[in-house]
Amino acid sequence: MQNTRLNQLLDRGIVQLENWLSNPWRRWSLLLISFLLGFFAGEVVSSVAGQAARWDITYAAVLVVAVELLSRLVYGLPGQARSSRRSFTLELSNNFKVGLTYSLFLEAFKLGS
């Protein structure tokens, strides 16, 4: 690509973001926020699916496919060698998935009692 002012600005922005995320406390706080947003999304999905009862199976199918695809992406195939360092966006997505799944399990326990 050409070395335009926009490219230089984007490159500097990415470097600054990487420097900002190099602090472990900021990384952990963003991972925690991602988990909590996943938990909130699970609560919202279960509430919306409970109100519109005809969409329950569709919501469940979409969530199962999304969770399984993300798990395959994060953990890889059983025979593949995994890289020791995952990207930060993949970690954020995985924490969101864990929060979503945990929230749906808690909702199921609440409905079962």
Which distant-in-sequence residues (6+ apart) come within 8 Å of 99 by Cβ?
Answer: 34, 35, 36, 37, 38, 39, 40, 41, 42
Q: Whole-model pTM?
A: 0.78
- Reported as a single tens digit per residue, the pLDDT across 53-91 is 777 888 889 999 999 999 998 888 666 666 656 788 899
Q: What confidence score (pLDDT) does residue 79 get? A: 64
Range list of H helices, the chain: 5-21, 24-51, 56-75, 88-112
The amino acid sitting at 82 is R
Q: What confidence score (pLDDT) does residue 82 get? A: 63
The amino acid sitting at 40 is F
- Reported as a single tens digit per residue, the pLDDT across 41-57 is 999 988 887 777 777 88
Which distant-in-sequence residues (6+ apart) come within 8 Å of 76 by Cβ?
Answer: 82
Rg (CA), the chain: 18
Question: What is the C-alpha to C-alpha distance for residues 22 and 100, in angstroms, rounded to an integer?
Answer: 26
Residue showing tokens 């988990």: 35
Residue showing tokens 């060698």: 81
Q: What confidence score (pLDDT) does residue 85 get? A: 64
